[in-house]
Structure 1
Amino acid sequence: MSKPVTMKVPASTANLGPGFDSLGLALNLYLTLEITPASEWHFEHRSPMLAGLPNDKTHLVYQAAEKTANAYGGTLPPLHIVMDSEIPLARGLGSSAAAIAAGIELADRYANLQLSDQEKLKIGNQMEGHPDNIGASLFGGMVAGVSFGEEADIVQLPVPDVDVVVLIPSYEVKTSDARSVLPESFTRQKAVEASAVANVLLAALSAGHYELAGKLMEKDQFHEPYRLQLIRELPEARKLAHEAGAYATVISGAGPTILTFAPKGTASDIISVFRDQFTDCDVKQLDVHTGRIQYT
């Protein structure tokens, strides 16, 4: 039997407050796949986080790989894949985007597609419906993207020079539930103001003006005001983080994970107060994953 190839795909956080369905940041929690040629497709799952996922072609990784191969005229050979994960499911850390990115990469490598970045993004955006998480998982670092239905565009941005802390509650929030509480439309005045907040946030992050960026991260009008009912820890976490010197505390993706940006070297203070207050939550300092999906 040939030696397995190992693929590591990063987690991601999306929105960063007002960058709704557009801003994404890759983080150093990983979905790991050990890939071996086989006579038929089969998935094994080592991590308890992956318990209950299918082991056949109904698996999301296979679905993404098949869609990619079919779209670009390739043939997928059968593979045996052993999966492990540090990315909790349904917590707003891009677990589905990581799985889709893995499938796209599998198809590219094993069906010998030689896809461009734009072709990979196109498939990922079609499956996710927005390019923020998938762009971060595929390409690393911080990204800003826009979806036009079947097509998408993305730009990689300078990585923020901040400490990153995540507070991960024990409960799940399904993306569909988090979207169901959002309004169907906004007034023109509110849409203009909310878009302007996102624009200036992006400029402030790119320029390294983190105090201003933090202020704007907490002024989202697109989704956070409506999702507070689903994520009960956010108001207290934001208060405590500010008292500890943080720039901003916001919902990570659709939640319930809470993301904090803080000045370099201050993460330990925030972690300490979070662990004292939220004893049933997991608290971690994370780094930004830069670079592409890793193979060994």
Structure 2
Amino acid sequence: MGMAFLSRPVTVRVPATSANLGPGFDALGLALTLYDEVEAAVTPAGTTVEVAGEGAADLPGDESHLVVRAMRRAFGVLGEQPPGLALRCRNGIPQARGLGSSSSAIVAGIVLARALTVGGPEQLSDAAALVLADEIEGHPDNVAPCLLGGFTIAWTADDGAAAVRREPAPGIHPVVFVPEERGLTEVARAALPKTVPHADAAFNAGRAALLVHALTADPRRLFAATEDRLHQDYRAEGMPGTAALVAGLRSEGVAAVVSGAGPSVLAFGLDGWTPRPMPGWRVLPLDVDLTGARLGG
């Protein structure tokens, strides 16, 4: 006897994320109050995908859509593929801007497949879902906060990815600056050197440790805690506008960093700071999302 699937649609809301946060390369991430929402249902046959919002003109409407591919991987882990799928995506997360759009699609697909399978939540825990999401994405720093919410510290062990979630301190107000141009993680990673000076590695280790403290207990330390020597300078030539904005904000005492692989910029506004309009950039004052991927409907 095969597995059973729900006869009704299921909806998941997944947050945007910002990874690295300056010195926490491939390890630290933050969930943001900017969302994609995906409704999925099992159908008798075929696959259809409707997309509205960000990326609607560019994203595929068939099995090649990343949400569908993630669902197929999760259904494979659960033991059986459904006969057909129908998806409706309402995207609020800008695509290819360093805000975790691919991670949100992957997490959405895994959570939807789990929810549509009778007994799925018991068979695929959050810990197992994180391992699977990391296998699809290639690194856990975005998928962890997308799945768990809040501020996360992620790493990869012999048995796969793992993460711990920490509650951010009150008074932290993320602001995202989103440019029109897109960026590719592969291109940004190609700009990084194979080795870095020992002094730079030690510098970042200290700053990453301080950033954990700053984000969870003492936001006044955020400016120093967000300094980086491992990746941002190496990527600056390929993203001159991003590098200039980060430098300009930091010259004003604002803790600003490249969001993920860029080209968006993340700034940590403390109480009393109001971002000003920036020509050529969408300025999005946000908060930290505390719930992560959330089912509804």
Q: Specify if TM > 0.5.
A: yes
CA distance in 2, matches of 1:144, 1:82: 31
The answer on 1:213 being equivalent to 2:219 is: no
CA distance in 1, matches of 2:252, 2:229: 25
The answer on 1:284 being equivalent to 2:284 is: yes
Report if aligned partners of 2:18, 2:30 keep a CA contact under 8 Å in 1: yes
CA distance in 2, matches of 1:150, 1:223: 27
The answer on 1:259 being equivalent to 2:266 is: yes
CA distance in 1, matches of 2:54, 2:289: 23
Deviation sequence 1:240-262 (CA, Å, 0-9, x none): 4356653x000000000000002
The answer on 1:232 being equivalent to 2:240 is: yes
Report if aligned partners of 1:139, 1:292 keep a CA contact under 8 Å in 2: yes
2:37 corresponds to which residue? Answer: 32
In the alignment, structure 1 segments of 5+ residues that lack a partner are: none
Alignment of 1:124-143 (within 5 A): 124-143=133-152
Other structure's SS at 1:167 match: strand
- Which of residues 140, 158, 183 is equivalent to 2:193? 183
Residues 173 and 160 of structure 1: is their aligned pair in 2 closer, same or farther, counting only changes over 3 Å?
Answer: farther
Deviation sequence 1:221-250 (CA, Å, 0-9, x none): 12111111122234543454356653x000
Query: What is the root-mean-square deviation in Å for CA atoms of aligned residues?
Result: 2.0
The answer on 1:199 being equivalent to 2:206 is: no
Report if aligned partners of 2:179, 2:281 keep a CA contact under 8 Å in 1: yes
CA distance in 2, matches of 1:86, 1:140: 17
Aligned AA (1:258): V
CA distance in 2, matches of 1:225, 1:66: 38
Deviation sequence 1:144-196 (CA, Å, 0-9, x none): 10023760110001214312111111101100000010011223343233222
Other structure's SS at 2:37 match: strand
Alignment of 1:38-187 (within 5 A): 38-39=43-44, 40-112=46-118, 113-114=120-121, 115-148=124-157, 151-161=160-170, 162-187=172-197
Residues 160 and 256 of structure 1: is their aligned pair in 2 closer, same or farther, counting only changes over 3 Å?
Answer: farther
CA distance in 2, matches of 1:77, 1:204: 49
How far is the alpha carbon of 1:63 from its aligned partner? 1.1
In the alignment, structure 2 segments of 5+ residues that lack a partner are: 1-6
Other structure's SS at 1:103 match: helix
TM-score, with structure 1 as normaliser: 0.89
Report if aligned partners of 1:169, 1:256 keep a CA contact under 8 Å in 2: yes
CA distance in 2, matches of 1:146, 1:238: 27
Aligned AA (1:135): A
- Which of residues 1, 6, 11 is equivalent to 2:11? 6
1:293 corresponds to which residue? Answer: 293
TM-score, with structure 2 as normaliser: 0.89
CA distance in 2, matches of 1:64, 1:198: 31
CA distance in 1, matches of 2:42, 2:126: 25
Other structure's SS at 2:24 match: coil
Number of equivalenced pairs: 285
How far is the alpha carbon of 1:203 from its aligned partner? 2.5
Report if aligned partners of 1:35, 1:79 keep a CA contact under 8 Å in 2: yes
Deviation sequence 1:191-216 (CA, Å, 0-9, x none): 233222212222332222x2323212
2:22 corresponds to which residue? Answer: 17
How far is the alpha carbon of 1:38 from its aligned partner? 2.0
Report if aligned partners of 1:76, 1:111 keep a CA contact under 8 Å in 2: no
Aligned AA (1:89): Q
Identity %: 35
Deviation sequence 1:9-49 (CA, Å, 0-9, x none): 11101011000111111111111112233222210112252
Deviation sequence 1:113-141 (CA, Å, 0-9, x none): 22211100000111112111101111111
Other structure's SS at 1:21 match: strand
CA distance in 2, matches of 1:265, 1:76: 52
Aligned AA (1:287): D
